[in-house]
Amino acid sequence: MTEEAADTAPDNPYIDDPTTAFDPVAELTDTEAREQAEALREAIRYHDHRYYVENDPAIDDRVYDALFSRLRDLEEAFDSQTEDSPTQRVGGAPRDELPDVEHVAPMRSIDQGGEADEVREFDRRVRDGLDAADYEGEVDYYCEPKFDGLSVEVVYEGGVFQRAATRGDGEIGDDVTANVRTIPTVPQRLRGDYPEFLAVRGEVYMPKPAFQAYNRELVERGDEPFANPRNAAAGTLRQLDPSVTAERPLSMFFFDVLDGADFDTRWEMHETFPEWGLRVCERTELVDDIEAAIGYRDARLDERDDLDYEIDGVVISVNDTEACAELGTTSRAPRWAFAYKFPARSEHTTLRDVVVQVGRTGRLTPVALMDPVQVGGVTVSRASLHNPAEIERLGVGIGDGVRVRRAGDVIPEVAEVTDPESDDHFEFPDECPVCGSPVERDGPMAFCTGGLGCRAQRERSVQHYASRKGLDVEGLGEERVQQLLDADLVSDVADLYELSVEELTELEGWGETSAENLVAELDAAREPPLADFLTAIGIPEVGQTVAASLARHFGTFDAVRSADEDELQAVDDVGPTVAREIREFFDSEANRDVLDRLLAHVDPQEAETTTGDALDGLTFVFTGSLNGYTRSDAQDLVERAGGSATSSVSSNTDYLVLGENPGQTKQDDAAEHEVPALDGVEAFEAKLREYGVDIEG
Phi-psi region of 339 (alpha: psi -120 to 50; beta: other; left: phi over 0): beta
d(Cα 694, Cα 656) in Å, to the nearest integer?
20
User: Where do the CATH 1.10.287.610 domains begin and end in the chain?
Assistant: 3-90
Given pLDDT bands bounded at 50, 70 and 90, which one contains residue 140? Answer: very high
Query: Residue 90 above 70 pLDDT?
Result: no
Mean pLDDT of 495-515: 92
Residue type, 210: A
Give the distance between the most distant pair of CA atoms in the chain. 88
**Residue (of 451, 411, 417, 416) closest to 434 by Cα position:** 451
Percentages (nearest 5) of helix, strand, coil residues in the chain: 40, 20, 40
Query: Residue 89 above 90 pLDDT?
Result: no
Given pLDDT bands bounded at 50, 70 and 90, which one contains residue 112? Answer: confident
What is the per-residue pLDDT for 2? 39
A 10 A CB-CB count for 676 gives 11
What is the per-residue pLDDT for 201? 96
What is the per-residue pLDDT for 61? 67
User: Where do the CATH 1.10.150.20 domains begin and end in the chain?
Assistant: 452-524, 530-598
Give pTM, 2 decimals.
0.55
Question: Over the stretch 336-372, which tens digit does the pLDDT of each residue have?
Answer: 999 999 887 788 999 999 989 888 888 898 988 988 8
Which CATH class, in words, describes the domain spanning 346-437? mainly beta
The length of the chain, given as a count of residues: 697
The answer to whether 439 touches 429, Cβ cutoff 8 Å, is yes
Q: Which CATH code is given to the segment(s) 3-90?
A: 1.10.287.610
User: Where do the CATH 2.40.50.140 domains begin and end in the chain?
Assistant: 346-437
Q: What is the DSSP string of 191-215?
A: -SS--SEEEEEEEEE--HHHHHHHH
Given pLDDT bands bounded at 50, 70 and 90, which one contains residue 211? Answer: confident
Percent of the chain surpassing pLDDT 90? 40
Sign of torsion over alpha carbons 43, 44, 49, 50: positive
* 112-341: CATH architecture: 2-Layer Sandwich (3.30)
Instruction: Among 242-246, 367-371, 374-378, 481-485, name the one with the lowest average pLDDT.
Output: 374-378
What is the per-residue pLDDT for 10? 44
User: Where do the CATH 3.40.50.10190 domains begin and end in the chain?
Assistant: 619-690
The answer to whether 416 touches 403, Cβ cutoff 8 Å, is yes
Residue type, 449: T
Given pLDDT bands bounded at 50, 70 and 90, which one contains residue 520? Answer: very high
Instruction: Return the higher-pLDDT residue of 277 and 378.
Output: 277
d(Cα 224, Cα 298) in Å, to the nearest integer?
35
Residues labelled catalytic: 146
530-598 belongs to which homologous superfamily? Answer: 5' to 3' exonuclease, C-terminal subdomain (1.10.150.20)
Q: Say how far residue 658 (Cα) sits from the centre of its chain.
A: 27
Instruction: Among 57-61, 303-307, 395-399, 464-468, name the one with the lowest average pLDDT.
Output: 57-61
Whole-angstrom CA distances from 95 to 98, 577, 670 are: 7, 44, 47
Question: Over the stretch 318-335, which tens digit does the pLDDT of each residue have?
Answer: 999 999 988 988 767 899
What is the per-residue pLDDT for 9? 42
Ranked by mean pLDDT, which of 135-149, 402-416, 466-480, 597-611 comes out on top?
A: 135-149
Query: Residue 98 above 90 pLDDT?
Result: no
Residue type, 606: E
The answer to whether 349 touches 418, Cβ cutoff 8 Å, is no
> Looking at residue 239, what DSSP letter applies?
-
Query: Residue 678 above 90 pLDDT?
Result: yes
Query: Residue 136 above 90 pLDDT?
Result: no
Q: What is the DSSP string of 493-556?
A: GGGGGG--HHHHHTSTT--HHHHHHHHHHHHHTSS-BHHHHHHHTT-TT--HHHHHHHHHHH-S
Q: Which CATH code is given to the segment(s) 452-524?
A: 1.10.150.20
> Looking at residue 305, what DSSP letter applies?
G
Decide which of 3.20.20.140, 3.90.1150.10, 3.40.50.300, 3.40.50.10190 is the CATH code for 619-690: 3.40.50.10190
Question: Over the stretch 431-448, which tens digit does the pLDDT of each residue have?
Answer: 999 899 999 998 898 999
Residue 442 dihedral angles phi and psi, to the nearest 5°: -130, 90
Instruction: Return the higher-pLDDT residue of 46 and 90.
Output: 46
Report the side by side order of strands in the sheet with 197-205: 160-166, 150-157, 197-205, 251-259
Q: What is the DSSP string of 423-492?
A: SSPPPPPSB-TTT-PBEEEETTEEEETTGGGSHHHHHHHHHHHHSTTTT--TT--HHHHHHHHHTTS-SS
Query: Residue 5 above 80 pLDDT?
Result: no
Q: Say how far residue 514 (Cα) sits from the centre of its chain.
A: 31
Question: Over the stretch 549-602, which tens digit does the pLDDT of each residue have?
Answer: 888 888 899 999 999 998 998 876 688 888 999 998 999 887 888 899 999 999
